[in-house]
């Protein structure tokens, strides 16, 4: 599988979603977490996805960004190899401790985005973040101001490139009208949910393909609770996997890659073996008939993290 592009960057077709390495329900011991990132990098992965709110709890906001930075420092790859690694992070969501658990909110003003981006850059140990996303929209802030704040993060040199996450087609089109697409140094990537389970943003994927915008599906295997059940829930994926001596999960990632040359799935992993297996899916070539058959399967679930659900937003 050929490498894929995010604006001027070239990356491996499959990235690593690092959130599970800091999730309180599954966070592994530090050595295994670092080994998981290293296994992905050793397998050719060059895109690591994180966010400021990926942490075991509100008291540890930034946990995942610090982990990613540590993993890169400790990795045995050459300095040239490390220079090829792209780290994407996100801001615009707040997480504070409350009497009954963490309280989630939004902070989409230009000032808040600037503060969040600077804090992320410091935790990652970089002068400029490779790719910075507006994580989720703040309903209390005019959308144009949020996009303007994202562009200001780029203009201030805090991030080299910008993107949007969890957006509709109308929101993407408005942002493109405001700041342009990749050719103008504007929106160069969109990170929305897409998997065998959830496929409601086909129009966003089409627009991204038209405009040369990278599309990064989050929870590409249907979320941590369902990733292991892809084959049992969707028989076609298991049947195609058997024909290729692979797994249903690898077929799902290969299917996503076949939707558009701009798609870069970011499956999560908490073990080196699963990180290696996900990366290996980039070499799995589906036939046109198999691709069409998998696309025709019916999604069997709602969003992993709906926007109105009080849970960690991807």
Please indicate, yes or no, if residue 128 is contained in any of the structural domains. Answer: yes
pLDDT in tens, 240-249: 999 999 999 9
Give tens-digit pLDDT for 71-121. Answer: 999 999 888 888 999 999 999 999 999 999 999 999 999 999 999 999 999
What proportion of the chain, given as a percentage, has pLDDT over 90? Answer: 89
CATH code, 99: 3.20.20.100
pLDDT number for residue 310? 47
What is the rounded average pLDDT of the residues 153-172?
98
Q: Is residue 41 part of a domain?
A: yes
- Asked whether residue 91 is domain-assigned, the answer is yes
d(CA 143, CA 159) in angstroms, rounded, equals 20
- Domain assignment of residue 166, yes or no: yes
Domain containing 116 equals: 4-229+263-284
Catalytic residue among 54, 132, 143, 198: 54
Q: What tens digit of pLDDT does each residue of 263-294 get?
A: 999 999 999 999 999 999 999 999 999 999 99
Per the annotation, the verdict on 54 as an active-site residue is yes
- At residue 295, does pLDDT exceed 70? yes
Distance CA 271, CA 71 (A): 14
Question: Is 71 in contact with 105 (CB distance < 8 Å)?
Answer: no
143: left (phi over 0), alpha (psi -120 to 50) or beta: alpha
User: Does 295 reside within a domain?
Assistant: no
Q: What is the pLDDT of residues 69-85, one digit of tens each?
A: 999 999 998 888 889 99
Please report whether residue 90 resides in a domain.
Answer: yes
**Higher per-residue pLDDT: 308 or 148:** 148
DSSP, res 197: S
Domain count along the chain: 1
Average pLDDT on 159-168 reads 98
In this prediction, residues 27-40 reach a mean pLDDT of: 94
pLDDT exceeds cutoff 60 at 312: no
Q: Are 10 and 1 in contact (CB under 8 A)?
A: no
Matching residue, tokens 């959308």: 143
At residue 104, the pLDDT reads: 94
Residue 308 lies in a domain: no
In a domain, 250, yes or no: no
């Amino acid at each position: 599988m050929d490498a894929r592009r995010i604006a001027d960057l070239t990356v491996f077709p499959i990235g690593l979603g690092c959130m599970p390495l800091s999730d309180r329900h599954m966070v592994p011991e530090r050595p295994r977490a670092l080994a998981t990132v290293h296994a992905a990098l050793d397998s050719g992965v060059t895109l690591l996805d994180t966010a400021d709110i990926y942490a075991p709890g509100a008291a540890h906001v930034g946990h995942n960004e610090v982990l990613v930075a540590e993993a890169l420092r400790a990795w045995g790859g050459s300095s040239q190899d490390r220079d090829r690694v792209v780290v994407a992070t996100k801001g615009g969501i707040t997480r504070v401790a409350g009497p009954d658990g963490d309280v989630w909110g939004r902070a989409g003003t230009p000032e808040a985005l600037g503060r969040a981006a600077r804090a992320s850059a410091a935790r990652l140990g970089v002068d400029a973040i490779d790719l910075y996303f507006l994580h989720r929209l703040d309903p209390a802030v005019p959308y144009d101001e949020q996009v303007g704040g994202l562009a200001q993060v780029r203009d201030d040199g805090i991030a080299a490139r910008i993107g949007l996450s969890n957006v509709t087609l109308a929101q993407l089109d408005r942002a493109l009208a405001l700041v342009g697409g990749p050719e103008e140094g504007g929106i160069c990537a969109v990170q929305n949910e897409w998997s065998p389970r959830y496929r409601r943003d086909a129009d966003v994927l089409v627009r991204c393909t038209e405009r040369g915008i990278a599309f990064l599906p989050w929870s590409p295997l249907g979320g941590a609770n369902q990733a292991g059940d892809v084959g049992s829930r969707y028989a076609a994926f298991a049947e195609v996997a058997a024909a290729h001596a692979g797994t249903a999960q690898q077929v799902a990632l290969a299917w996503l890659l076949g939707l558009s040359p701009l798609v870069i799935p970011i499956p999560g992993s908490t073990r080196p073996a699963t990180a290696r297996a996900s990366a290996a899916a980039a070499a799995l070539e589906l036939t046109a008939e198999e691709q069409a058959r998998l696309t025709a399967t019916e999604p069997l679930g709602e969003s992993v993290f709906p926007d109105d659900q009080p849970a960690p937003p991807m």
